[in-house]
Amino acid sequence: MVFDPTVTSTTVASILSISLTSSITLFLNKRNQRKSLDDQLDNILKISIQYPYLESDSFTLSWDPNFDKNDDKYLRYDIYCTLLFNFLFRVSEFYRFDKKKIEDYIAIKEWVRLHEKYWKNPTSKYENLDGYEIIYVNLINSYLR
């Protein structure tokens, strides 16, 4: 077998180029995912500023899954909690369910505890058990023990 330095250097350059391109793509994808989470967090915070009762202990403790379906406050709270727990799931997934990384990003403990009554008593009885991966359900429940 004859050693051809041109072919070898071309092969090495191609491998390096592919590796570099892949690394940059992964980095940009991760950065875009984080930006999306930041935007979602901003939107949730804007909702809570517009409707402060959604983050009020006295209101969240009054949650009843059998609320009057004509009550705008409870309808809004139901949707808000769905939005919130879906967001927390995406954050958890992004950080691969690593509690420390999640907690470094957001105050998940406080949020989960504030909305504990909703989590334990969703509008649809098994919504939280059937609607999320078990690793996430266990993560949320770990803050409520």
**16 confidence band (pLDDT: 50, 70, 90):** confident
**Exposure of 113 by Cβ count < 10 A (0-12 exposed, 13-18 middle, 19+ buried)?**
middle
Region 4-26 average pLDDT: 76
Are 107 and 49 contacting, i.e. CB atoms less than 8 angstroms apart? no
Region 92-100 average pLDDT: 98
Contacts of 90 (CB under 8 A, 6+ apart): 37, 40
Region 22-37 average pLDDT: 84
The pLDDT score that the predictor gives to residue 3 is 63
CA atoms within 13 A on the CB side of 67: 22
The pLDDT score that the predictor gives to residue 43 is 98
- Tens of pLDDT, residues 41-73: 999 999 999 999 999 999 999 999 999 999 999
Task: Report how far residue 86's alpha carbon sits from residue 27's, in angstroms, rounded to the nearest whole number.
Answer: 24
Q: 28 pLDDT exceeds 80?
A: no
